[in-house]
Amino acid sequence: MTKSAADLAAAVRDGRRTIRDVAEETLGAIEHREGEVHAFLHLDPAEVRARADALDAGARAGAERGPLFGVPVALKDNLTTRDAPTTCGSRILEGYRAPYDAFVVERLREAGALLVGKTNLDEFAMGSSTERSAYGPTRNPLDATRVPGGSSGGSAAAVAALFVPLSLGSDTGGSIRQPAAFCGIVGMKPTYGRVSRRGLVAFASSLDQIGVFARNVRDAARLLEAIAGPDPSDATCLAEPPEPYERLLPANPLDALRGLRVGLPVETFPETLDARMGKAVRNAGAVFEKNGARLVEVRLPLTRYGIPTYCLIAFCEASANLARYDGVRYGPRGEGGTVDEMMSATRGALFGPEVKRRILLGTFALSEGYAEAYYGQAQRVRTRIRREYADAFERCDVLLTPATPGLPFPLGARSDPVSMYLEDLFTVGPSLAGLPALSLPCAQEAGSKLRAACQLIAPLRHDARLLAAAAGIEAALGPNLPAY
């Protein structure tokens, strides 16, 4: 499936292609490489064909053929679906079928998107490599010896492997932007609250946000437009209606760059940063400048405290959110003479090591006598981090940083938990501040298919500005990226 979502939708709308034909091409591409990549946890070709036929029948009966009609979309397996399992990559939800569709899934069905399957993830979205799925790792389609990033590694890989043009993921500290960067595609986390999380299995509720993967910025804008809120069922969802993100992109993408003030935070180019990564992102800055943008140096001194702040907040919220997996209401159940023993046996046997680490640390940091010193302190530092970003945006319109500290690492290379957490060095800041952020490729490694990526960050609610800036730099860099 090499076509963009926009081209596919146009072909379906004009009657040049049936959706069944699109489904067959999608399934063929998956059949060809899924054994190597392992992007999906659940994929039922017969159901995909049935959905395609139903959509074709709808089209013949005069159904409205909108911008996603007939376009294949894959879903991260922490988004609930009535007609497929939702496991979150965990044994504790093995075989679980949710009784309702997530808000975003309802939206995609209404839009006539062709839902293709559920993608692999680190267990409960906790990880940066998709190696921590209980159902085996996903491999990077650009180099199968490397990880695809995570936690939304399956969704990123499905788009990068040309299985589907679009997919949904969730991002808590970088779980869309980092795998998009590793897989050489576009990944966007919108403003916190821009997309309803009803039906997104909760990990860390003050950080979790659903977002999009695509192979170009215009497609990403199209998908975001289709899923953006408001929704009264999610109390954190923004009340104002979303903007028409795709239509707001300038006809000539370069127009968005003229006069744009691009902030380069000094602290996101530390001396310890891989020199090639620093050069790749600074080069993107130079391309911005060449096309009429103005570069501004800004300061984000608390950047180095981002990961510890993130860890404390995310782990505390995870320990509370994951209390619901007790063997009573869903999933397999362990043995025990009392309800406490049964719950402890279930959780001890069916959660993986990373989930246990986070529950233990979160439970400790929320316990009496420690909560103020750990969780309370982290939420105070977070307020300061949010202020730093607000101050930086007094002087610029978007920020430009590396998306990741380096290129994708080989499977098994990050066995130490803290070294894995550090993969999110550049992505946790916008998560803590609720800001919209997007990663896109900016350099190409010679002799391989691997790409380096930069991250763009915009102020709260400026998702449209973020997308316009991203489409601009995407066009300015062109298809032949500079050497990494």
Write out the catalytic residue numbers: 76, 151, 175
CB atoms within 10 A of CB 125: 29
Residue 144 vs 328, nearer CB to another protein: 328
CB atoms within 10 A of CB 249: 21
CB of 341 to another protein, least distance (A): 7
Residue 222 vs 414, nearer CB to another protein: 414
Two structure tokens written together for 181? 């960067």
SS (H, E, C) 178-189: HHHHHHCCEEEE
**What separation, in Å, do the N-terminal and C-terminal C-alpha atoms of the chain show?**
27
Residue 75 vs 432, nearer CB to another protein: 432
Residue 337 vs 478, nearer CB to another protein: 337
DSSP 228-278: ----TTSTTS-SSPPP-TTTTS-SSGGGGGTT-EEEEEGGGS-TTS-HHHH
**CB distance 164 to 72 below 8 Å:** yes
CB of 455 to another protein, least distance (A): 19
Greatest Cα pair distance, the chain, in angstroms, is 70
CB of 182 to another protein, least distance (A): 23
CB of 201 to another protein, least distance (A): 13
CB of 158 to another protein, least distance (A): 26
Cα separation, 463 vs 451, in Å, equals 24
Residue 211 vs 434, nearer CB to another protein: 434
**CB distance 93 to 77 below 8 Å:** no
Cα separation, 188 vs 150, in Å, equals 14
CB atoms within 10 A of CB 373: 10
Sole residue written with tokens 């990123």:
156
Cα separation, 179 vs 369, in Å, equals 38
Residue 111 vs 307, nearer CB to another protein: 307
CB of 314 to another protein, least distance (A): 11
SS (H, E, C) 359-422: HHHHHHHCCCCCCHHHHHHHHHHHHHHHHHHHHHCCCCCEEEEECCCCCCCECCCCCCHHHHHH
